[in-house]
């Protein structure tokens, strides 16, 4: 049996690559893509079987671009996982902490390690495109005065050494990743856990009370909501789409009934997927 090909954004050792293995198993072929657009294209062009998209971070919020690409591409959600983001200071093996003058990482990672950098004023922080790419760069250039901020996977992959572990300001730093695939496609994914979720997006008329009535269809059947977010509709000021996550499977009788009631009330409803949730 051929290995599942899973596309992700970033370089080898990226947090997305770890999410891919947690979602699709260790025996997969991971395909590194430079951008989110290229990652979705890889699935649409059948160069990959599925992809792993970060969709929200507990500190930075929802990644709307990936919501948009999910809608445009028509891919559907086949799984989710939540990764704790741990940042480490990583350098070539012979470099000691007091040698480090330059620190490279993605600007979001640098921003999440402000306290460490403030406490180490001799280090100059520089932004690059990718956390794992920063490790690859300092190893390739054999820098004796530089370090990167990245995952421990990245350190292991490029043969670098961790000088300081867990240097992020806030330990409550999680990123939620979705596994996305073409709706028709069956993939040999690991067996599902018991907890399922269903994600959908809907539009309702722009009127006071409209959202209240729409949520009534779920309240009626005591369905648990796990996320709601409104989002302005492009080119239509003051009109909104609503993204909703529910506990349960779209095939469950109550959820199927609630969604069919919502379709009566709403202008549009689209189920984005029903999937097992791994935490």
Which residues make up the interface to a second copy (CB under 8 A)? 35, 37, 56-65, 68, 106-107, 111, 114, 127-129, 172, 208-209, 211-213, 215-216, 218-219, 222-230, 232, 234-235, 237-238, 240, 242, 279
Judged by CB, which is closer to a second copy: 230, or 260? 230
We find the least distance from the C-beta atom of residue 224 to a second copy, in angstroms, to be: 5
What's the CA dihedral at 177, 183, 189, 195 to 10 degrees? Answer: 60
* Secondary structure (H, E, C), 62-88: ECHHHHHHHHHHCCEEEEEEEEECCCE
d(CA 103, CA 181): 37
Residue partners of 208: CB distance under 8 A and separation at least 6: none
Choosing from 36, 40, 177, 242, the catalytic residue is 177
Q: Which of 30, 81, 131, 175 is catalytic?
A: 175
Q: Shortest Cβ distance from residue 231 to a second copy (Å)?
A: 8
Decide if 175 is catalytic: yes
Residues contacting residue 191 through CB under 8 Å, at least 6 positions apart: none
Cβ proximity to a second copy, 110 vs 155, nearer residue: 110
The answer to whether residue 81 is catalytic is no
Cβ of residue 211: shortest distance to a second copy, in angstroms?
Answer: 6
What are the CA-CA distances from residue 95 to residues 136, 137, 279 (Å)?
A: 15, 15, 36
Closest separation in Å from C-beta 221 to a second copy: 8
Residues designated catalytic: 175, 177
């Amino acid at each position: 049996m051929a290995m599942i090909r899973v596309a992700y954004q970033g370089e080898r050792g990226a947090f997305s690559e770890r999410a891919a293995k947690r979602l699709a198993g260790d025996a997969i072929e991971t395909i590194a893509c430079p951008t989110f657009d290229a990652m979705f294209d890889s699935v649409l062009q059948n160069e990959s079987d599925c992809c792993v998209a970060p969709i929200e971070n507990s500190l930075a919020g929802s990644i709307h671009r990936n919501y948009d690409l999910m809608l445009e591409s028509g891919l559907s959600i086949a799984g989710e996982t939540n990764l704790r983001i741990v940042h480490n200071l990583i350098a070539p093996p012979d470099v000691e902490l007091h040698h480090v003058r330059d620190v490279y990482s993605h600007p979001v990672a640098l921003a999440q390690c402000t306290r460490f950098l403030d406490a180490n004023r001799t280090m100059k922080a520089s932004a690059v495109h990718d956390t794992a790419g920063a490790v690859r760069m300092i190893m390739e250039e054999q820098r004796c005065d530089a370090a990167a901020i990245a995952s421990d996977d990245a350190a292991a992959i490029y043969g670098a050494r961790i000088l300081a572990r867990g240097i992020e300001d806030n330990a409550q730093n999680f990123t939620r990743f979705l596994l996305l695939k073409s709706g028709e496609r069956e993939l040999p994914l690991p067996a599902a856990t018991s907890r399922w979720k269903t994600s959908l997006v809907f539009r309702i008329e722009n009127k006071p009370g409209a959202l209240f009535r729409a949520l009534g269809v779920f309240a009626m059947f005591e369905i648990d909501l796990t996320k709601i977010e409104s989002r302005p509709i492009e080119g239509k000021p003051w009109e909104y789409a609503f993204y909703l996550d529910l506990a349960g499977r779209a095939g469950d009788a109550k959820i199927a009934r609630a969604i069919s009631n919502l379709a009566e009330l709403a202008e549009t409803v689209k189920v984005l997927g029903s999937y097992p949730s791994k935490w």
